Amino acid sequence: MNLLITGAWTGAKDHIGEIEALGHTVRFMQQEKDPLPCEPDWAEGAVCNGLFLYHRMEEFKNLRFIQLTSAGFDRVDMDYVNAQGIEIHNARGVYSIPMAEFAVSGVLELYKQARFFLENQQARRWEKHRGLLELFGRTVTIVGCGSVGTECAKRFKAFGCRVTGVDIAPRRDDAYDAMLPIEKLDEALPASDVLVLTVPLTKATERLIDARRLKLMKDAAVVVNISRGKVIDETALAEKLRTRRLMGAVLDVFETEPIPASSPLWDLPNAILSPHNSFVGDGNGERLQRIILNSIRRKAL
């Protein structure tokens, strides 16, 4: 197979010889927005992330295999992929552990008033806070029970939380105390102390958490979004946080990235913002390498 590999796979160059030994011919390009190192119709396969945001997929006439370095499929025209019968794989499971740890740490940062203590440390001020909360016994609702959601569920359960999953294909899973179909999301929201969003962005999930659904939640609830920014109505969320009709939010993704300096979210003391960084972990490289090489090896059989 003629295989185009991009620098989205950080360790790619260390494995090109191994891949070529399997019988594949490799062309490498570091930056996906750069000119292609080959004619588009040369490539029969691609290992990439946002390659097709910069180069029209329709020009890759012989493309039959894609291995993404991302967990999401939102940077690829899936309608075209399916229509053309192109085999596509994502990096399922690669980023789930750091994202789950990030979700738990964000909630704990709010519950344990980390900002208060940091500000006091910087001011060299000795002051106790009597309003710290416990995760134990809380109800956590996870919307999207794939790899990321399930890793979140395991960790919240370890803190003694009751974990409810909400998914388009509910199943029996020991990581959850219960799992509901997406149609019952409205029933789960009023009982939720923590809402964790891990769903992929699709037409069905865009603005899934809108102003109406935010109104169903407790004033003391925390929202965690580690999926995609457009899954939640950002304007409605900011208003709920501003008026303290939500205790807080942990937001790693936004409708526009980078988030504009004019966004009201920047100034909200009960919002924790990070620059789409929750996926980062020191075990990612090894997990991604294993997935990509196994995927490529199967194509050599």
Identity of the residue numbered 261: A
Selecting among 151, 155, 228, 234, the annotated active-site residue is 228
Active site residue 115: no
Selecting among 64, 75, 92, 276, the annotated active-site residue is 276
247 class by beta-carbon count within 10 Å (0-12 exposed, 13-18 middle, 19+ buried): buried
Selecting among 257, 286, 297, 298, the annotated active-site residue is 257
How many CA atoms are closer than 13 Å to the CA of 50, on its beta-carbon side? Answer: 7
Active site residue 109: no
> How big is the CA angle at 199 (ends 194 and 163), to the nearest 5 degrees?
35
Active site residue 183: no
Identify the DSSP state of 275: S
Give CA–CA dist 268/222, Å, rounded. Answer: 14
Query: Rg of the Cα trace of the chain?
Result: 21
Per the rule left: phi > 0, alpha: psi between -120 and 50, beta: everything else, 128 is beta
3-state secondary structure (DSSP) of residue 289: helix
Among all residues, which ones are annotated catalytic?
228, 257, 276
